[in-house]
Amino acid sequence: MLVLSRKINQSIMIGDDVRIVIVAVDRDQVKLGIEAPRAVPVHRSEVYEEIRRANQEALGAAPATSGKAEKATLRPRK
Amino acid sequence: MEEQQITVELPRFGSCSYTPSEVIEFPWGLPGFATLRHWLPLNLDSHPTFVWLQSLDDPEVALPAVDPWMVFENYDPKLPAYAFTSLEIREAGDFATLCVVVVTPNAAEMTVNLMAPVLINLRTRKARQIMLDGSTYSAREPLPRKSGAEASASSKSA
């Protein structure tokens, strides 16, 4: 892992279009500002991790099924 | 237009034929299944409420999902801009929404992932699981108990 030291108001560029700014530091908490294109999702890692676990659990716990499966028709919300 | 029929053998559903235009592509994968990009939405006659997202890259993987509004009428996700931009969604009629279902052991309870709905662009068949960071929706929202036949049927069989 690359480790960089930054001061408040300094920033890091990731690629050409993602900028992370150190906004504030207070004891063990750091406030980051993130500028990224609208097509780039930005989440806290815990959220991603929670969704990853929920998806894998959905697979593990999927109920037994029987019968013939048809292709599902997907529709927009009515 | 004659489209090529492809037949696969699925551990859960048996033999299944589909055409390339029926496949849903997840260009970014799904959390937990990052490498599985091609999925087929399936229905079982016996459980019409569920849509099964069947992976075509790993036939062992099939995730049950529901149309969230069928179970949570007031569901109102505030979708982030990246959802619309990355999937090229312009209006409400462009996309379908599915939420993955987690069944707790012994099918005692079903929960629905309202925090990360799956959006499917119906025109391009591209899809993405969208994370509602900062929302109050749970990744494991219990399915409301049905008061009628379904509840009594399951208690009798228990």
Sorted by where each starts, the structural domains of chain B and their CATH numbers stand as 6-144 (2.30.290.10)
Identify the domain containing residue A22 by its residue range.
Answer: 11-60
- Dist CA A20 CA B126 (whole Å): 29
Q: How many domains does chain A fold into?
A: 1
Q: Is residue A45 part of a domain?
A: yes
- Dist CA B47 CA B37 (whole Å): 25
For residue A29, the distance in angstroms to the closest alpha carbon of chain B comes to 18
CB contact under 8 A, A51 and B96: no
pLDDT of residue B151: 42
| Contact between B116 and A56 (Cβ < 8 Å) | no
In total, chain A counts a number of residues equal to 78
Q: Is residue A24 part of a domain?
A: yes
Q: Is residue A16 part of a domain?
A: yes
Q: Is residue A50 part of a domain?
A: yes
* pTM given for the model: 0.86
pLDDT of residue B106: 65
CB contact under 8 A, B12 and A65: yes
Considering only residues 38 to 77 of chain A, which have any Cβ-Cβ distance to chain B shorter than 8 Å?
38-44, 47-48, 50-59, 61-63, 65-77
Does B98 have pLDDT greater than 50? yes
CB contact under 8 A, B64 and A58: yes
Cα nearest neighbour of B13 on chain A: A69
Does B154 have pLDDT greater than 70? no
Q: Is residue A75 part of a domain?
A: no
| Contact between A45 and A29 (Cβ < 8 Å) | no
Q: Is residue A29 part of a domain?
A: yes
Does B152 have pLDDT greater than 60? no
For residue A15, the distance in angstroms to the closest alpha carbon of chain B comes to 18
ipTM confidence:
0.85
Q: Is residue A52 part of a domain?
A: yes
